[in-house]
Amino acid sequence: MTGAARNRARRAALLLAALATSCAAAPTSSADRTPPPNVVIFLVDDLGWQDLSAPFWRERTPWNERYHTPNVERLCREGTKFTAAYAHCVCTPTRVSLLTGMAAARHRVTHWTLRADTPTDPERGGLRRPVWNWNGLTDTDATANATLAATLPQRLAAAGYHTILAGKAHFGAAGTPGADPCQLGFDVNIAGWANGAPSSYLAQTAFLRAGDDPIWQVSGLERYHGQDLFLTDVLTTEALAAAGASVAAQQPFLLYLAHYAVHAPFDADERFAARYRDAGLPEREARYAALIEGADHSLGRVLDWLDARGLAEDTVVLFLSDNGGLSAHGRAGEPHTHNTPLRSGKGSAYEGGVRVPLAVRWPGRTPAGVELAVPVSVDDVFPTVCELAGADPRCPDGVAFTPALRGQPLAPHPVFWHHPHWWGATGPGIEPYSGVRDGRYKLLWFYAGGRAELYDVIADIGERHDLAAELPEVTTRLRALLRRQLADCGATLPRGADGAVLPLP
């Protein structure tokens, strides 16, 4: 039996389980469920908050001037832009939260995954790793299933959708069922597997760089091997073909188009690289910028495809990234500066590691040209998409930002992070931490040494002025809020050198 067939066989049971899940939002009314829109989730890997010509701040920055992303600009003009959107600081936790509506502390996939039963986080600084879910999201994992009723594609499938994944999956480790997106609810899987990056973007080299471990090869695209094509474009072609089959069958679709771009390696997309070389950028930065423009070109192809088929007004398009922009290594120039005025980058607790672009368009439904500074989280995508699609939106942690997409006030809620790990790179804020943003204040708890930092991220977006000692009442309140959240989620915590679990913040 194929993965898709097994998935269909489980849907009835999963839907019944979903109805028993504790709810964070009530199901939508029948009036809200008709007609169901198509849904496109356009996810870019490692794209920084400012790696676009469309600014996601109150002013333009030199980074906005560097890049050329007219299609993101178009999406923002025609939809709603969230300027304080957050993800987790590395990829797999974000992807699992998006698929489940669960906080990382609850699903416990708190770091990136690769091989079954093999943790990927180092141990250093007198701390030992927590006992986290290093197999990732898998239908056989008791930890995940303890609170998981149904994934996003399963919820939408139960509402009549055809569900498509194209690109990077990275939900479960190789050797587990979760490595196959069809085991997690997708009807169609195009090139998604356990790898979190491509060995190569080049079809000419079969998407595999000489000498690389084949685990990093992009799978399922063998018919393109040897051709002069770039991975970003191939995935777009395949994704639109799959969506076209749904349209021909008169079935609404969920298209989760998750590009491997702009993750390293920085292969040159020669369709766009000359613009940045001519501007005098170092070769590595020119290639990085070309990867960004290639992703934007893909978005334009999707938007144009919807327009040409008269589907734009029947389709919700969400654009976002999975973590902050890479800056600790691999870039030209000084490390940890590629997201300024945000501090640090991917892997960090600071804003450069977790703040991401988010824009949503549904012509005729979502307000056009609107900017919202209310903090929202990748955890909130699950209930939002479910509400828009007329599916069951209930989930443990996510809070739908649907009101904002209907031109209504959006009530703020706390945003939480939990990354109790050392990452491979080092730098500011790149250490085991938990955190919460509530209103203008953001509290970070670093487990190495057990210290709190507090920032007013509205007045001090660069997190240069630690207010923990100056505002002890705010620090105490947010520590208590974070402690309650972690306890409610059953969060796993780092251990000391003696193996004893460290205390909550």
CB burial string 430-442: b at 16+ within 10 A, e below: bbbbbbbbbeebb
Secondary structure (3-state) at 86: strand
264-to-40, 47, 272, 307, 393 alpha-carbon distances in Å: 24, 11, 17, 32, 35
- Closest among 87, 430, 349, 464 to 456, alpha carbons compared: 464
Find where tokens 């590691």 sit.
353
Phi, psi angles (nearest 5°) of residue 438: -135, 110
Query: What CA–CA distance (Å, rounded) separates 327 from 349?
Result: 13
Residues 438, 454: contact at Cβ < 8 Å? no
Query: What CA–CA distance (Å, rounded) separates 113 from 194?
Result: 8
149 pLDDT band, cuts 50/70/90, is low
Instruction: For residues 55-70, give the mean pLDDT.
Output: 97
Phi, psi angles (nearest 5°) of residue 199: -65, -40
pLDDT in tens, 167-206: 999 999 999 999 999 999 999 999 999 999 999 999 999 9
139 pLDDT band, cuts 50/70/90, is low
**pLDDT value, residue 33:** 45
Supply the angle between the helices 283-308 and 70-78 in degrees, to the nearest 10: 50
pLDDT in tens, 404-413: 999 999 999 9
Query: What CA–CA distance (Å, rounded) separates 203 from 205?
Result: 5
Question: Does 252 score more than 60 pLDDT?
Answer: yes
**Average pLDDT of the chain, as a whole number:** 92
Residues 197, 216: contact at Cβ < 8 Å? yes
DSSP-assigned letters across all residues of 225-289: TTSS-BHHHHHHHHHHHHHHHHHHTT--EEEEEE--TTSSS----TTTHHHHHHTT--HHHHHHH
**pLDDT value, residue 35:** 82
Instruction: For residues 280-298, give the mean pLDDT.
Output: 98
Q: What angle do CA 88, 359, 230 make, to 5 degrees?
A: 80
Token output for 381: 């995508």
**pLDDT value, residue 138:** 81
How many CB atoms neighbour CB 408 within 10 A? Answer: 10
pTM exceeds 0.75 for this model: yes
**pLDDT value, residue 23:** 31
pLDDT in tens, 294-305: 999 999 999 999
Question: Does 122 score more than 90 pLDDT?
Answer: yes
How many CB atoms neighbour CB 175 within 10 A? Answer: 15
Task: Supply the DSSP symbol for 36.
Answer: P
209-to-204, 218, 262, 307 alpha-carbon distances in Å: 10, 11, 17, 37
- Closest among 269, 274, 310 to 292, alpha carbons compared: 269
For residues 466, 468, 471, 473, the Cα torsion angle rounded to the nearest 10 degrees is: 150
Supply the angle between the helices 231-248 and 283-308 in degrees, to the nearest 10: 10
- CATH 3.40.720.10 matches 37-413: yes
How many CB atoms neighbour CB 492 within 10 A? Answer: 19
More confident residue, 33 or 295: 295
Query: What CA–CA distance (Å, rounded) separates 45 from 90?
Result: 10
How many CB atoms neighbour CB 308 within 10 A? Answer: 9
Domain residue spans in the chain? Answer: 37-413
Provide the residue type at 322 as one letter.
D
Query: What CA–CA distance (Å, rounded) separates 123 from 110?
Result: 15
Question: Does 239 score more than 80 pLDDT?
Answer: yes
Query: What CA–CA distance (Å, rounded) separates 325 from 178?
Result: 26
pLDDT in tens, 100-120: 999 999 999 999 999 999 999
Question: Does 365 score more than 90 pLDDT?
Answer: yes
CB burial string 16-43: b at 16+ within 10 A, e below: eebeebeebbebbeeeebeebbbbbbbb
- Closest among 332, 339, 382, 344 to 357, alpha carbons compared: 339
141 pLDDT band, cuts 50/70/90, is very low
